[in-house]
Each structure stands twice: as C-alpha cells, then as structure tokens.
Chains A and B, each alone.
Chain A
C-alpha cells in the first residue's frame, strides 16, 4: 500500500490547479479544460457560467467553489466525460435541454473508469447523471431534481447502461422519469438514496445481475419500484412508501431469481410486493403495514420462501390468481391470525391461510372492492375459512408467529 503511494507521489506533485472565475484571467470552464494537462485540478469560483457541451477528455478534478452555476439554457448537454479518473464536484448544474434523438444529461460519462460525481445540485435536467459502458464509478451526495413533464419527455435521475461496479450513494432524486435506472449493470451498489416523486419508478432495473440495494427510501413515486429480468439481487433495509395507484407497487418483481429481500419496510402502498415469474427468492423479516395488498404472488412464481415477515393492518395480506402454489410460508406474523398457542413455543398451533376468499373474488372482479367489509363478505370469508373451496389450500403458514417481531 505504501509503495503505491510512493508511485503516485510524483503524479500528484506535478499536477497544477487552474482557477476559473468571473474575476480571474480564465473566465470559462471551456477555456480551462483546453488549458489543463492530465491530472490537473480546475477550481471554479462562484458565478454563473452559460456553457454547455464541455468535453472532458483527460483525467481531471473539476471542483466548484460555493456551487458555481453552469447553465445550459435548455440548449444541450453540460459535461461529457470521455476519460477515466475524472471528478466533478460541487456544481450547480441546471437547464439541460431535451431532444428526442440524444439523451442529453447534466453529466454524461461515456466509456470511462473511476469517474466520480460528488455533491452537485442538478436542477431541471433531462437526464441527471448518465453512465454508458463505464465501470467503477461513483455518484454520491448529489441533489437531483427534475421538472417532470410526460413520461416520454422526461429523463432519468441516475441512468446507467452496460456498466459494472457503479456506486450510487446518499443522493436525493426527484421529479424524473425513473429515479435510478439500471440496464445491463452488474456488481453495483445503491445505498442510502432517497428517490421520491418520480413520475414512473423510484428504482428501475433490468438485466442487472448481482447488484445490492441497502437503506434506500422510495416514496410517492408514480408506480413505485420495478425490477425485471434479473438474478442475484440483494435488497436490505429499504423503505417503500406511499406508492398509490391502479398500477403502483411498493415493488414489482418480474422474472427475478435467486435474490434476497430482507428487513425492508413496505408502508401504505396499493400493493406491497407484486411477484410475477419469480423464483428462488428469500423474503424475510420484512414489514408490511397499511398496504392495500401486502403481497400479490402470481401463480407463475415458484420456490420462493417467505419467513418471519410481519403483516399488519393490510386490507389483504396475500393474494394470488390461481390454485397452484409452489412457495413456502413459514413463521410469519399475521395480525389477522386468530389461532392459539397452547404449548407456548411462540408459534400458533393452527395453520393460517393468508389468502381470503374475497381477495380471490376481487382478483377476478375488481369492482367487487365496493363490498369490502360488508357483512355478507365477512360471512363468506368465515365460511371459506371453515371449509376452503376457492382459496388455494397449499398457501398456508403452518407455524404463524403469535407476536410481531
């Protein structure tokens, strides 16, 4: 390790700092970029810079002092990074224009390694931070706020395509199409971000294997969080809240396999988790509270395990659309459970069937939701509990917990 430092030392010592400012000799970032040599630092003083299409094609540290404003005047992209080891820090980047042919972004990184985008404010951008074919990059502590129009004319907050080992940390992202969008991204970590008020998904990924998501909060997004066609995903300690609407989910899982969903909180969503064609997922210690549906598990899911989750005050805990059940429920807490525990081992002595008759009916006739909680429906549900005929017999928690964890 020490040897590495020694090797790097001459590099550091040879680098110089170029200062840009309204009162300095160099007044534009563009000018500084053309003057800079590899590994130099460009320090931009506070001010308003009406610049765009700033091409960074050598390893540089570009740092803003007191958030200098770079205004694209809705005419184009701000930074385009086409080199490795670039840092862009402390800017107020605003007004990136929109075209239908090119995805203009506040910071676009193309085919680069070790690029860091740290502590910037990004306002009214088409795309916020955009990575393409890059790896080992970092996006940290940025505040990205879009001005949402329609789904087609609004870009993503953080967008990554065909990348590897990206880290997205501690960002606040709102008002974009998808807060965080990954496609063909692998071995990446997304943590402690807050993604809210985006018009489509708070987090959206497809074909992005072996990524991890920790301690993120996804709130008030148009359709919640959607993850598709992916395997080996780890999601822990995330919060999914207030995703309301006819097609909104706390989390939508489509064709996901071999993944772990643990210790997350799903609160006040129309549907906590919707699963379609997922297999070998372990879902444990999650909290489902005040959702319309805690989980909707389509019959196309198999070999999933649900243990030690807590279901509280959901209108329906679990719903499904068929008789086939190839998943395991074990030791969850259900507030609708009415059994007893004679031997005091903490688990109920009678199995619990979390799917109610009426949720099966609503699955086929959505208008039926009107009769929810009416006496006749309660009666039907009771009758079904005694003699199950329509609800899948195999969807059962044999050892429901007596107390929430």
Chain B
C-alpha cells in the first residue's frame, strides 16, 4: 500500500498541477493579507476561497487524476493487489498531496499574518473540506467510465454543495418563515459539509453576531463538547461514506 501511495505521489509531483495549486493558494492568500491592513478582513476574504475554490480544485483535480492514471490502475490490478487497497492508496495519495498543498499555500500566510483561533478554524475546515471532496470525486469517477461524464458529475457535486444547497435552504427559510425553524436549520446545515465548515469558522469569526437571536443556539450547540463531537462525526461521515461507496463500486466494477 505504501508503495502504491509512493507511485501516486511521484506521478502527482511529475505533472506539477498540485505545485501550481500550492503557488496559486500562496499568492492569493498573501495578496489578500497584504492588501488589507486588518488581518481579520483578510481571513474573511480567504473564507470564500476555502469554501469555494478548495472543493472545486479537489474535485476536478481528483477526477482528472483518476482518469489519467486509469491505465496505471489497470496495470496494477493485473498484479496480486486487492482492489479496495488500491483505491484507498490512490485516495490517500491524492488527499495527502492536496492537503499538503493547502496547508502550505493557505496555512503559511495565515500563520504569518493572522495566527489565532479563527486562523486555526479556517485551516481545519479547509483540510476537512479537501478530504470530503476528494472522497466525493472518487465516488463520481468510479461511477462512470467516460472522463467527460465524470468531470461533469464532479462539477455538479460542487455546484450542488456550493450554491444550490444554500439556495434551497434559503427558499425553505422564506417559505416556512412563520414556523420555528431553529432545530431544522441546525440539521439542514449539517447535511452539507461546506455549510458545516462555514459555521465552524463563523463561530470564531462572527461570534458577536452569533450570540444574538437564534445564533446563540449554534454557539451553544457547537461550542459544547457534544456539539463538537457531532460536527466532527458528521465531517467524518462525509469523508468515510463516499470513499466506502467508491470502494464498493470499484470492487464490483467491470474495468
């Protein structure tokens, strides 16, 4: 397994996209912090990068990488290697390289310009989102043999979690505004990893606003040990379930 991961790493290093991604994140973060005199405003702008760009790159890169190394995977499967082990090593290789890229690209500037709880929350959320979306991308790519379809599916996933879902929640909010929606909103947000990450960061960033009105509910819930465990658990589920499903599909698949 370690050996396969090593090959994946070598392959990723060779095509330099992850390197470009690292540099991109580094430049964007450094510029955002450099432009603003107030580091908390820089963090605010970075929030959008973490919530939108990180999932997108994770999905697209993983899908493309999977299809490009299809022949390599086929070759390895000719060897006596367990299918699930192979896919998990692929996952580990891609995820670890993307996480490293994120930690270097965003983590460096954050630690330099805005060290603290908010920065840490941002980094943790970014790492979790990378893992979740790499897992989802693997699921998307094992589902179809066609590269274009696979990328299309990945984009759809991104579009759904990044934009559509919040739109739906907003619609629900408008439609049922006469009802007490506090608990329902709490559940709805945890059904989307992007929202969960956002709230996790918000609890550090906008704590004053969250203390008002119903926001206090979130503070109370996610601030408690049970709430943190729950959030961690949900994030874990978002990582484990897609990759588990991907492994299942991959094992039964006619290559």
Q: Which of the candidate stretches B7-15, B145-153, B165-173 sits at the interface with the other chain?
A: B165-173
Q: For the complex formed, measure the closest distance between the CB of B253 and the CB atoms of chain A, giving whole angstroms.
A: 34
Task: Say yes or no for B216: interface residue by CB 8 A criterion.
Answer: yes
Q: How far is the CA of A335 from the CA of B194 in the complex (A)?
A: 26
Indicate whether A292 sits within 8 Å of B166 (C-beta atoms), given known contacts A373-B198, A375-B52: no
**Chain A residues bordering chain B, tally (CB within 8 A):** 34
In B35-57, the 8 Å CB interface with A consists of 38, 40-41, 44, 47-48, 51-52
Indicate whether A369 sits within 8 Å of B52 (C-beta atoms), given known contacts A269-B208, A291-B208: no
Chain B residues contacting A244 (CB-CB under 8 Å) are 207-208, 211
B212 touches A271 (CB 8 A): yes
Task: Say yes or no for B144: interface residue by CB 8 A criterion.
Answer: no
Q: Which of the candidate stretches B78-86, B92-100, B177-185 sits at the interface with the other chain?
A: B177-185
In B183-218, the 8 Å CB interface with A consists of 185-186, 189, 194-195, 198-199, 202, 206-216, 218
Chain A residues contacting B40 (CB-CB under 8 Å) are 290, 313
Render A301-315 as a binary contact track against B, CB cut-off 8 A, 1 for contact: 000000000001111
Chain A residues contacting B210 (CB-CB under 8 Å) are 292, 369
Indicate whether A293 sits within 8 Å of B167 (C-beta atoms), given known contacts A335-B38, A372-B206: no
Chain B residues contacting A375 (CB-CB under 8 Å) are 48, 51-52, 162-163, 166
> Which 4 pairs between the two chains have the least Cβ-Cβ distance?
A292-B209, A366-B213, A315-B209, A292-B208
A293 touches B198 (CB 8 A): no
A-B pairs with beta carbons under 8 A, tally: 106
One of A246, A271, A367 near B185 (C-beta < 8 A): A367
Chain B residues contacting A373 (CB-CB under 8 Å) are 44, 47-48, 51, 198, 202, 206
One of A365, A369, A377, A378 near B209 (C-beta < 8 A): A369
Render A351-378 as a binary contact track against B, CB cut-off 8 A, 1 for contact: 0000000000010111111111111111
Other 8 A-B pairs with CB < 8 A, given A248-B211, A373-B198: A246-B216, A290-B208, A313-B40, A366-B215, A372-B202, A375-B166, A376-B170, A377-B166
Q: Which residue of A lies closest to B213 (CB)?
A: A366
Chain A residues contacting B166 (CB-CB under 8 Å) are 371, 374-377
A246 touches B212 (CB 8 A): yes
Q: For the complex formed, measure the closest distance between the CB of A150 and the CB atoms of chain B, giving whole angstroms.
A: 20
Indicate whether A376 sits within 8 Å of B167 (C-beta atoms), given known contacts A268-B208, A291-B208, A292-B209: yes
**Chain B residues bordering chain A, tally (CB within 8 A):** 39
Q: Which residue of B lies closest to A364 (CB)?
A: B177
Q: How far is the CA of A367 from the CA of B189 in the complex (A)?
A: 12
Task: Say yes or no for A245: interface residue by CB 8 A criterion.
Answer: yes
Render B68-93 as a binary contact track against A, CB cut-off 8 A, 1 for contact: 00000000000000000000000000
Q: How far is the CA of A134 from the CA of B175 in the complex (A)?
A: 58
One of B44, B181, B199, B206 near A367 (C-beta < 8 A): B181
Q: Which residue of A lies closest to B162 (CB)?
A: A375
Indicate whether A365 sits within 8 Å of B173 (C-beta atoms), given known contacts A248-B211, A292-B210, A370-B218: yes
A292 touches B182 (CB 8 A): no
A293 touches B212 (CB 8 A): yes
Chain B residues contacting A246 (CB-CB under 8 Å) are 211-214, 216
Report 8 cross-chain contacts, Cβ distance below 8 Å, ordered by A residue.
Answer: A244-B211, A246-B214, A270-B208, A270-B212, A292-B209, A313-B40, A366-B213, A374-B51
Max count, chain A CB within 10 A of own CB: residue among B47, B48, B163, B209: B209
Q: How far is the CA of A364 from the CA of B40 in the complex (A)?
A: 28
Chain A residues contacting B194 (CB-CB under 8 Å) are 374
Q: How far is the CA of A276 from the CA of B163 in the complex (A)?
A: 37
Q: Which residue of A lies closest to B186 (CB)?
A: A370
Q: For the complex formed, measure the closest distance between the CB of B118 and the CB atoms of chain A, giving whole angstroms.
A: 11
Task: Say yes or no for A316: interface residue by CB 8 A criterion.
Answer: yes
Q: For the complex formed, measure the closest distance between the CB of B48 and the CB atoms of chain A, giving whole angstroms.
A: 7
Q: How far is the CA of A314 from the CA of B209 in the complex (A)?
A: 8
A245 touches B214 (CB 8 A): no
Chain B residues contacting A291 (CB-CB under 8 Å) are 208-209
A378 touches B41 (CB 8 A): no
In A269-303, the 8 Å CB interface with B consists of 269-271, 290-293
Chain A residues contacting B167 (CB-CB under 8 Å) are 376
B199 touches A370 (CB 8 A): yes
